[in-house]
Amino acid sequence: MARMFWLFANYMGHMLRTLTLSANNGPAGLPPLSQRLYDALTMLLRPTTLLLLATCYVVYRIVYKLAFSPLCRVPGPLRARVSSLPSLLECLTQCTNDVMVRDSRLYGSLFVMEPKKVAVCDVEDCRTILGSHAFAKAELYGNVDFMEPNIFLTRDAKLNSQRRRQIGPALNKAGLRRMEPTILAAGVQQLMSRWDSCVHQAAGARAQVNYYSDMTLMSFDIIASLGFGMEHRSLTTGDRTIGDWVEKTFALMILQMVVPAVKWWPLRRIVGAVLGKHVDAFFAFGKQAIERRKLALATASASAEPRPNDILQQFIDAEDPLNRIKMTSSQVITETIMIMLSGADTTSTSLAWTIHLLMLYPEHRQALVEQIRAAFGRDQLITYEMAREHLPLLEACIFESLRVCPVSTNLPRVVPKGGVTLQGHFIPGGYTLAVSTAACNYNPQYWPDPARFDPARFLRSNPDYDTNRHNLMTLSSGVRSCPGHQLVMVEMMTTLANILNRYDLELPADAHYGPHNLGADGLPTVMPRTNHIAMIPKHPERDCSVVVSMRP
């Protein structure tokens, strides 16, 4: 950098000298530049002068940011006040949630992340921000232009509320109860048929499986089956087409959000060639699903067959109870695809983290297995209602795992005109607030000994149960909270109840992370994680294996 600056300054000085000399010696009739102006300009463009000016500017910026900027009294690192670059670099190279937890320990529950961005890690503050449409999602959500405005990306409160009214019933308890047979068939029943066959083929009837990749495929299969109205079985057939489309669509969405220049020529063409064709294929697939369904419905109404119970059908039929407005076919496709983007990886990764934590804390796994096996026979299929009624410890382990390893990351919101005061600090309108789900979940003011996986926090018999449920931020809260939270619980409860009932799980002999690997805090070390669609394990092939065998 310094060398480039030096070269640039020399070059500018040289150019000016050449220009002024040619003006002085120029054709007769042209007025010569005054000697004093020439002297002043050459002095100004000397590398040392430019360096001095640049230093003065940097010092002025630092002094201004430290002493006069609106955020000068908010805690935070110096680098964050001066430039957005350090935060961006950290986001690209490190796990965002780890950085947020670390920085909230250093600076407290409100700190500067960038010159105009403040991290919020206090549960009550976050609830205030997320509780109102006045704090809109950040502008970057509005950069995506390859799909229709939808529930997730829209910054328009009216559209968001309408969509939530339209698609909400498909994802509520009654809607999911009707869909549960599909969820079980594409989900844990498929998983068990795969693990059964692995165990039967393995030497000594003990098979090593990778639960991260199995959960990922299983979750895609569940949402693809519900959203596209077809039996989708990538876990057992190995067909990963839809999973690939989801990855590419997500990549294009994030690219457009973060680097809007990719929407303009010539980048648009390059990105289109790499990702666009997959995205187009995905949307075309969604369109075919709707056409197929409409055709099937026409035939079914003739033969009085019952309507299918899935998300596709519920979205086609959905109407806003306030004004009877229905979604167009293209809106149905977009919302179904958004459900896949926001609901598949998040749920499968949360399942993987729960298994990982249960392997790190064998005492909780043992207690849970005993509770499950005391209530159910080995070959019994455990449904959501059965699990909810008989397995309070399972529900507690899931909530605690969502707290300790949240797959969601920072939720960016814009401060409305007029600003907001948080913890005595005024933050001006237009600034960004990064609501950190991870740092909230590790805030010791709300969670004693926050790094410990302690399911008792979420036992319904615990007097703090309601408060703890209320303070859990992983699925967000307020007006834009996760509408898929019931589906998350149905998938996670049925999957974990059935596999822990049917199989004994052990860590492989060479497992890097386990109860034996304790950190400086005396707790088992959690495997490293990294930013992706969700906060995923960094080395899933290495760290997410278990040995499964049939329970006696």
Binding ligand HEM (rule: CB under 6 A), the pick from 110, 487, 499, 548 is 487
42 in Cβ contact with 35 (< 8 Å): no
Secondary structure of 59-93 in the HEC alphabet? Answer: HHHHHHHHHHCCCCCCCCCHHHHHCCHHHHHHHHH
CB of residue 18 to ligand HEM, shortest distance in Å: 55
CB of residue 406 to ligand HEM, shortest distance in Å: 6
163/457 with CB nearer ligand HEM: 163
Give Cα separations from 317 to 179, 202, 312, 328 (angstroms): 15, 47, 9, 10
CB of residue 474 to ligand HEM, shortest distance in Å: 5
Edge-to-edge strand list for the sheet holding 410-414: 110-114, 117-120, 432-436, 410-414
Asked whether position 313 contacts ligand HEM by CB under 6 A, the answer is no
Structure tokens at 548: 């499964």
Structure tokens at 35: 């000697």
Q: Over the range 338-377, which residues count as b (16 or more CB within 10 Å of their CB) and which as e?
A: bbbbbbbbbbbbbbbbbbbbbbbbbebbeebbebbeebbe
Site mask for ligand HEM (CB under 6 A), range 147-176, x = bound: ----xx-------x---x------x-----
Asked whether position 484 contacts ligand HEM by CB under 6 A, the answer is yes
405/505 with CB nearer ligand HEM: 405
Please count the CA atoms within 13 angstroms of the CA of 33 that sit on its side-chain side. Answer: 19
171/275 with CB nearer ligand HEM: 171
* H/E segment holding residue 114: strand 110-114
CB of residue 156 to ligand HEM, shortest distance in Å: 11
Dist. CA 276–CA 283, nearest whole Å? 11
* Candidates 8-16, 40-48, 291-299, 404-412; binding stretch for ligand HEM (CB under 6 A): 404-412
Asked whether position 405 contacts ligand HEM by CB under 6 A, the answer is no
CB of residue 62 to ligand HEM, shortest distance in Å: 33
* Candidates 58-66, 202-210, 342-350, 499-507; binding stretch for ligand HEM (CB under 6 A): 342-350
Binding ligand HEM (rule: CB under 6 A), the pick from 216, 432, 474, 501 is 474
Asked whether position 134 contacts ligand HEM by CB under 6 A, the answer is no
180/506 with CB nearer ligand HEM: 180
Please work out the total of residues on this chain that contact ligand HEM, with binding judged by CB under 6 A. Answer: 25
Dist. CA 501–CA 370, nearest whole Å? 9
The string of DSSP codes covering 427-473 is E-TT-EEEEEHHHHHT-TTTSSSTTS--GGGG-TTSTTHHHHHHH--
Structure tokens at 526: 């959690």
* Candidates 280-288, 389-397, 403-411, 462-470; binding stretch for ligand HEM (CB under 6 A): 403-411
318/407 with CB nearer ligand HEM: 407
Dist. CA 533–CA 511, nearest whole Å? 26
* Candidates 50-58, 63-71, 424-432, 475-483; binding stretch for ligand HEM (CB under 6 A): 475-483
The string of DSSP codes covering 204-238 is GG-EEEEHHHHHHHHHHHHHHHHHHSS---HHHH-
CB of residue 211 to ligand HEM, shortest distance in Å: 16
- Residue number of the CB closest to ligand HEM reads 484
Sign of CA dihedral 381, 240, 163, 478: positive
Asked whether position 338 contacts ligand HEM by CB under 6 A, the answer is yes
Residue 101's nearest CA partner among 380, 444, 386, 458 is 444
Structure tokens at 507: 């860590």
Binding ligand HEM (rule: CB under 6 A), the pick from 242, 488, 500, 527 is 488
In the block, tokens 């004004």 appear at 323
Asked whether position 407 contacts ligand HEM by CB under 6 A, the answer is yes
Binding ligand HEM (rule: CB under 6 A), the pick from 350, 436, 443, 498 is 350
Asked whether position 347 contacts ligand HEM by CB under 6 A, the answer is yes
Peptide linkage before 266 cis (omega within 30 of 0): yes
* Candidates 49-57, 266-274, 415-423, 469-477; binding stretch for ligand HEM (CB under 6 A): 469-477
Establish whether 482 is an annotated binding residue.
Answer: yes
* Candidates 9-17, 55-63, 183-191, 478-486; binding stretch for ligand HEM (CB under 6 A): 478-486
Q: Which residues contact 460 (CB under 8 A, 6 or more apart)?
A: 392, 395, 396
Asked whether position 410 contacts ligand HEM by CB under 6 A, the answer is no
* Candidates 172-180, 248-256, 288-296, 407-415; binding stretch for ligand HEM (CB under 6 A): 407-415
Asked whether position 480 contacts ligand HEM by CB under 6 A, the answer is yes
Asked whether position 76 contacts ligand HEM by CB under 6 A, the answer is no
Asked whether position 443 contacts ligand HEM by CB under 6 A, the answer is no
Dist. CA 114–CA 65, nearest whole Å? 11
Asked whether position 357 contacts ligand HEM by CB under 6 A, the answer is no
Q: Beta strands 410-414 and 432-436: pairing type?
A: antiparallel
Asked whether position 475 contacts ligand HEM by CB under 6 A, the answer is yes
Report angle CA 63, 65, 68 to the nearest 5 degrees: 80
* Candidates 88-96, 203-211, 228-236, 406-414; binding stretch for ligand HEM (CB under 6 A): 406-414
Annotated binding site for heme: 482
Which residues of the shown chain bind ligand HEM in the complex (CB under 6 A)? Answer: 151-152, 160, 164, 171, 338-339, 342-343, 346-347, 350, 407-408, 411, 437, 474-476, 480, 482-484, 487-488
